[in-house]
Amino acid sequence: MSARSPWYVANWKMNLTPSAARVWCEALRAGLDRLQEPVPELGVAPPLIALDTVRQALRGSGVVIGAQNCHAEASGAFTGEVSAEMLADAACRFVLVGHSERRHLFGENDEEVGRKAAAAVRAGIEPLICVGEKEEQREAGQTPEVLSRQLDRALEYLLDLRSADLTLAYEPVWAIGTGRVADASQIEEAHAILRGKLVEIAGEKTARTTRILYGGSVTPQNAEKLAPIEGVDGFLIGGASLDAARFLQVACPRARC
Ligand code: PEP
């Protein structure tokens, strides 16, 4: 039994308007009220435009809010960008960094991911650092080196690793939004690589307490099989999180939400 409590995080990506977000939050609250089991730890990362709506609608529910991205600088002439400081002031408790869509659609490199993770920690919010291999890298047997490199670079700018709160998400690129879920041995192996690497760079204690989520086509149908896999401390959920009831069912597969 893990000492880490599981965390379930909704990544809406560029979906749900502020009005739709309000409806989603009401449905989630209704589901939480009906739960007959302990409320799981939940997080939601809406688009920035819906952040304040979600903050107000989920006030007092215990669900934490976060953002999907931030800039590495605290302020400046970066039109269209938002800093970690701004997110902290808007009540964000976490921010995704290095999501594969940011890396592959927007060209973010490992160094930028590291600088953003450090900016989040400086601003007092938790970076949820996403790493994962592409399909061709897996086929070429490069998964361990890809994950190790991504994690090394993501933590490179964190000055006090031992006291930083952070979460990792293992998200194989080929499993995101494709309906293809990594199998148990692939997930177990990847999480063990990441945990081993954490021991090496951040020490035993940080490695023991840092949550490593799995992300990639998680649904209420497969969550029950994925949750007990060794080293999995919850999920980062994209598509299935757009419906509040399905999101809650991922966190509580046995509950009738
Ligand atoms: C994600 O966006 O992080 C993700 C895992 O998406 P999906 O659940 O849709 O695969």
97 domain-assigned: yes
Would the pLDDT of 9 be above 90? yes
> Going by CA atoms, what residue is nearest to atom 6 of ligand 1?
238
Annotated catalytic residues are 99, 171
> Going by CA atoms, what residue is nearest to atom 3 of ligand 1?
238
Name the band, by pLDDT with cuts 50, 70 and 90, for residue 254. confident
31 domain-assigned: yes
* Domain count across the chain: 1
> Contact, 216 vs 176, CB < 8 A?
yes
Range of the domain at 193: 7-251
Q: What is the pLDDT of residue 255?
A: 67
Pocket test for ligand 1, best of 100, 214, 218 (most atoms within 8 A of CB): 218
Name the band, by pLDDT with cuts 50, 70 and 90, for residue 163. confident
Provide mean pLDDT across the span 97-116: 97
2 domain-assigned: no
Name the band, by pLDDT with cuts 50, 70 and 90, for residue 253. confident
Ligand 1 site, CB within 6 A = 11, 13, 171, 176-177, 215-218, 236-240
Two tokens, residue 34: 């009906």
Q: State the closest ligand 1 atom to the C-alpha of 175, by its place in the atom list counted from 1.
A: 10
Provide mean pLDDT across the span 196-219: 95
Q: Note the pLDDT tens digit of each residue in 35-44.
A: 988 889 999 9
Name the band, by pLDDT with cuts 50, 70 and 90, for residue 244. very high
Say how far residue 149 (Cα) sits from the centre of its chain.
Answer: 19
1 domain-assigned: no
256 domain-assigned: no
Q: State the closest ligand 1 atom to the C-alpha of 169, by its place in the atom list counted from 1.
A: 3
Would the pLDDT of 142 be above 70? yes
Task: Say how many Å lie between the CA of residue 168 and the centre of ligand 1.
Answer: 14
Provide mean pLDDT across the span 215-220: 97
Q: What is the pLDDT of residue 160?
A: 79
Pocket test for ligand 1, best of 12, 237, 242, 246 (most atoms within 8 A of CB): 237
> Going by CA atoms, what residue is nearest to atom 1 of ligand 1?
238
Q: What is the pLDDT of residue 1?
A: 43
Q: What is the pLDDT of residue 161?
A: 72
Q: State the closest ligand 1 atom to the C-alpha of 239, by its place in the atom list counted from 1.
A: 9
Question: What residues contact 218, with CB distance under 8 A and at least 6 apart?
Answer: 181, 226, 235, 236, 237, 240, 250
Q: What is the pLDDT of residue 257?
A: 53
Provide mean pLDDT across the span 196-216: 94
257 domain-assigned: no
Kindly report the average pLDDT of the chain as a whole number: 95
Would the pLDDT of 32 be above 60? yes
Pocket test for ligand 1, best of 236, 242, 246 (most atoms within 8 A of CB): 236
Q: What is the pLDDT of residue 241?
A: 98
Q: What is the pLDDT of residue 91?
A: 97
Q: Note the pLDDT tens digit of each residue in 108-135.
A: 999 999 999 999 999 999 999 999 999 9
18 domain-assigned: yes
Q: State the closest ligand 1 atom to the C-alpha of 99, by its place in the atom list counted from 1.
A: 3
Name the band, by pLDDT with cuts 50, 70 and 90, for residue 162. confident
Print the SS3 string covering the chain: CCCCCCEEEEECCCCCCHHHHHHHHHHHHHHHHHCCCCCCEEEEECCHHHHHHHHHHCCCCCCEEEECCCECCCCCCCCCCCEHHHHHHCCCCEEEECCHHHHHHCCCCHHHHHHHHHHHHHCCCEEEEEECCCHHHHHCCCHHHHHHHHHHHHHCCCCCHHHCCCEEEECCHHHCCCCCCCCHHHHHHHHHHHHHHHHHHHCHHHHHHCEEEEECCCCHHHHHHHCCCCCCCEEEECHHHHCHHHHHHHHCCCCCC
CATH number of the CATH domain containing 27: 3.20.20.70
